[in-house]
């Protein structure tokens, strides 16, 4: 498989969840919802324990999918993400290997290491190979996670609609608030800036 973005996701502090099964289901549901907007090469699926894996065509698709998924998760469920850029080689059945997977593993371990070192807002990291601007991508992820981590439930729902390009009037009707309140929330929470950043990534993504 040509150059793609492999994604490994795990649940933060999964052992502390009151309902582990519901937490797993919430992650799968959030990514299934995100993948209505972003076409996946391999839709995110559960693997072992609290881990999930998926493959996206570009790093921009991976970031968009993980962003929309985080916005859809319930308050009690947080995820950590590693994005690896490179090749995915099909071995047999659903088994695959390749540089993208090795780098995704390195990326999620780096995100975990940074969190343990006190960078509590870190929820994602990216590792790439020669020619991949993984450092810039990780910088974008750091800023994205800072913005997402400050959002309240309604702000997340509004942000998801804004990122998907929904009309503010439609979002307002769903939230039972005014269009002006939607606009104010989208600007104040960082949803507008996030939408523009994702658009810029998509425009230049490999």
pLDDT tens digits along 93-103: 666 778 999 99
Average pLDDT rounded to a whole number, residues 43-66? 93
The more confidently predicted of residues 49 and 161 is 161
**How many CA atoms, within 13 angstroms, populate the side-chain half-sphere of residue 27?**
29
CATH number at residue 140: 3.30.70.270
Instruction: Let me know if residue 190 belongs to a domain.
Output: no
Using alpha carbons, select from 37, 55, 57 the residue that is nearest to residue 45.
55
Instruction: Let me know if residue 161 belongs to a domain.
Output: no
Number of domains present in the structure of the chain: 1
Range of the structural domain that residue 17 is part of: 4-149
Average pLDDT rounded to a whole number, residues 75-90? 93
Instruction: Let me know if residue 167 belongs to a domain.
Output: no
pTM score of the predicted model:
0.93
Instruction: Let me know if residue 30 belongs to a domain.
Output: yes
Instruction: Let me know if residue 25 belongs to a domain.
Output: yes
Give pLDDT, residue 202: 85
Backbone φ, ψ for residue 8 (5° rounding): -115, 130
Average pLDDT rounded to a whole number, residues 52-69? 96
Average pLDDT rounded to a whole number, residues 138-144? 95
Instruction: Let me know if residue 97 belongs to a domain.
Output: yes
Give pLDDT, residue 81: 97
Instruction: Let me know if residue 188 belongs to a domain.
Output: no
Instruction: Let me know if residue 74 belongs to a domain.
Output: yes
Give pLDDT, residue 85: 96
Is the per-residue pLDDT at 205 higher than 60?
no
């Amino acid at each position: 498989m040509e150059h793609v973005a492999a994604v490994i996701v795990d649940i933060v502090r999964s052992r502390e969840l009151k309902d582990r099964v519901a937490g797993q289901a919430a992650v799968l549901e959030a990514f299934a919802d995100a993948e209505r907007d972003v076409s996946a090469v391999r839709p995110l699926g559960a693997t072992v324990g609290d881990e999930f894996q998926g493959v996206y065509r570009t790093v921009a698709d991976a970031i968009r999918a993980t962003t929309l998924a985080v916005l859809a998760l319930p308050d009690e469920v947080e995820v950590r993400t590693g994005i690896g850029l490179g090749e995915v080689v099909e071995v047999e059945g659903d088994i695959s290997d390749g540089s993208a997977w090795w780098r995704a593993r390195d990326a999620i371990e780096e995100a975990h290491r940074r969190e343990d070192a006190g960078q509590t807002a870190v929820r994602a990291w990216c590792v790439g190979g020669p020619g991949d601007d993984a450092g810039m991508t990780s910088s974008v992820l750091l800023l994205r996670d800072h913005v997402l981590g400050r959002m309240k439930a309604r702000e997340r729902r509004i942000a998801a609609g804004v990122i998907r390009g929904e009309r503010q009037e439609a979002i307002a009707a769903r939230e039972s608030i005014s269009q002006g309140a939607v606009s104010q929330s989208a600007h104040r929470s960082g949803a507008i800036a996030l939408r523009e950043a994702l658009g810029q990534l998509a425009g230049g993504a490999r």
